């Protein structure tokens, strides 16, 4: 009976350590990151971010989407916006262009790519070939983003 109790105790200790390894790893990463930020004298730049908005015939959503997205971009200098219009027949690209030209987002921080063939997958693939940012965030035109995202 004592052998069974020792074996079960050993198994409990083993599994307790094994289960806690991810937590220990996370703590080590957090501590190392704080050390790097506190002790590091070099300037580590933030990654660049591109917000990708694929659109097709989104005239009813485009202004709301841009009003929802631009405040988040303006506060982060290393971000830009790319709108990919794939075969819209309702003037979506023109609405985006007019809105962005009148916005406070610099012209160098946004781009509109238009092509005649419809298709979201094709639009995304074309955009990804042109994006050089370290992080790409894609959002549909009918999706609302939360402030501070």
User: Per-residue confidence at 32, pLDDT binned at 50, 70, 90?
Assistant: low
Number of other residues whose CB lies within 10 A of the CB of residue 105:
20
**Per-residue pLDDT at 42:** 53
C-beta separation of 62 from 55 below 8 A: yes
Report the half-sphere exposure of 11 (CA within 13 A, side-chain side): 6
Q: Give 60-113 pLDDT, tens digit per residue.
A: 989 999 988 888 888 788 889 999 988 888 888 899 999 999 888 888 889 898
> What distances in angstroms separate CA 41 from CA 36, 38, 46, 109, one per listed residue?
9, 8, 15, 30
pLDDT of residue 39: 47
Query: Would you state the structure tokens that stand for residue 13, as one six-digit string?
Result: 């200790």
Residue 98: per-residue pLDDT: 92
- For 39-62, the pLDDT digits (tens) are 445 555 677 888 899 888 888 989
Confidence of residue 139 (pLDDT cuts 50, 70, 90): confident
Q: d(Cα 131, Cα 43) in Å, to the nearest integer?
A: 24
């Amino acid at each position: 009976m004592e052998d069974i109790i020792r074996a079960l105790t050993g198994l409990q200790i083993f599994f307790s350590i094994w289960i806690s390894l991810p937590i220990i790893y996370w703590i080590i990463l957090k501590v190392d990151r704080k050390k790097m930020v506190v002790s590091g004298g070099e300037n580590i730049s933030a990654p660049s971010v591109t917000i990708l908005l694929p659109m097709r015939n989104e005239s009813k959503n485009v202004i709301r989407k841009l009003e929802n997205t631009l405040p988040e971009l303006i506060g982060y200098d290393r971000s830009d916006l790319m709108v990919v219009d794939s075969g819209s027949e309702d003037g979506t690209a023109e609405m985006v262009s007019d809105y962005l030209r009148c916005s406070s987002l610099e012209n160098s921080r946004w781009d509109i790519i238009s092509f005649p063939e419809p298709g979201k997958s094709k639009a995304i693939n074309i955009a990804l070939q042109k994006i050089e940012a370290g992080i790409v965030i894609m959002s549909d035109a009918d999706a609302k983003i939360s402030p501070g995202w």
